[in-house]
Structure 1
Amino acid sequence: MKYWFTLLALTSTLFISSMAQAACQHEGVCSQSYTLGPQFISPKDGDTVSSPLLVKMGIKGMRVHKAGEIIEGTGHHHLIIDGAYIPENEVVPADDKHIHFGKGQTETTIKLKPGKHTLTLQFADGHHQSYGQVMSRTIHITVK
């Protein structure tokens, strides 16, 4: 009897764990604090900074690779200034507020006007198609 109870508990734990991981694959289910995805190495959420600002980017759970080819488990960063994440499978625009790092860069220097700003890292595939909210991270900063 004890064996069956242990087996049932183990099976339930594995099922719940796999369901949580599967749910995280769908856009919007994972919280921003989830450990996978793009990471701001600097600045940090809530920082007060000077302009120009050095932005350092990282990624957990995938690898950085230059744009141009689709390789599973890879992509590159996009920095969105004062905007939100790009929905899954949509191409990240290229303009003053959507900065592409298609060469695989992991840091940049940007100029911002004084005031409050949001910075969003959006990870996307080799064709600049967004991996969605689960592969984005937004922070809030103040430029003095």
Structure 2
Amino acid sequence: MSAKRLSILVGAVWCAFSALIWAGAPAPDDAKVYIISPTDGETVTNPVVVRFGLSGMGVAPAGIEKAHSGHHHLLIDVDELQALDRPVPSDDNHRHFGGGQTETKIELAPGRHTLQLLLADKNHMPHEPALVSKKITIEVK
């Protein structure tokens, strides 16, 4: 086999392998993630209690292999979603709830903020298709 053909073959195998590694777990078509509270446009005070909603799937801690389940990630003031074929970042704007939590209390600076949920699988990978809530805006007093 020529070097060129070998290079093409290796590249094709790597692409196929990468797709398998980076693909999120499958999500049922009727699955939905949403923010129960606060509601869009609500004025709140610290600590802000955020309750996570999920239908059509279950919640499981990160690292636990369980079909049709995942754990929540709260996106705070994120303008654009990350690439959904990569693990969810972990920083002040991407809060991980790998213990399977369904609510949290957070401290936010006074002012306007956006909140959004992204469900991810045991490896912090968004599901396929991605389960992303509607983005809400709140005002913190």
Counterpart in the other structure of 2:98: 102
1:141 aligns with 2:138: yes
Counterpart in the other structure of 1:46: 41
1:87 aligns with 2:87: no
Instruction: Judge conservation of contact 1:63–1:75 (CA < 8 Å) in 2.
Output: yes
Q: As a proportion of its length, which structure holds more strand?
A: 2
Q: How many residues align?
A: 111
Deviations 1:88-144 (A, max 9, x none): 331011111111111100011000111111001010000000127841111111112
Q: Which of the residues 53, 58, 68 maps onto 1:58?
A: 53
Instruction: Judge conservation of contact 2:36–2:53 (CA < 8 Å) in 1.
Output: yes
Deviations 1:2-45 (A, max 9, x none): xxxxxxxxxxxxxxxxxxxxxxxxxxxxxxxxx74211111011
SS in 2 for 1:72: coil
Using the TM superposition, give the Cα deviation of residue 87 of structure 1 relative to its aligned residue in structure 2, in angstroms: 3.5
Tell me which moved more, 86-95 or 122-131.
Answer: 86-95
Cα separation, 2, equivalents of 1:56 and 1:40: 6
State the percentage of identical aligned residues: 45
Cα separation, 1, equivalents of 2:54 and 2:81: 16
Using the TM superposition, give the Cα deviation of residue 72 of structure 1 relative to its aligned residue in structure 2, in angstroms: 2.2
One-letter code of the match for 1:49?
A: V
One-letter code of the match for 1:42?
A: S
TM-score normalised by the chain length of structure 2: 0.71
Inter-CA distance 133–53: structure 2 relative to 1 (3 Å threshold): farther
Counterpart in the other structure of 1:120: 116
SS in 1 for 2:127: coil
SS in 2 for 1:59: strand
TM-score normalised by the chain length of structure 1: 0.70
RMSD between aligned residues? 2.0
Q: Could you list the runs of 5+ residues in structure 2 that have no partner in the other structure?
A: 1-29
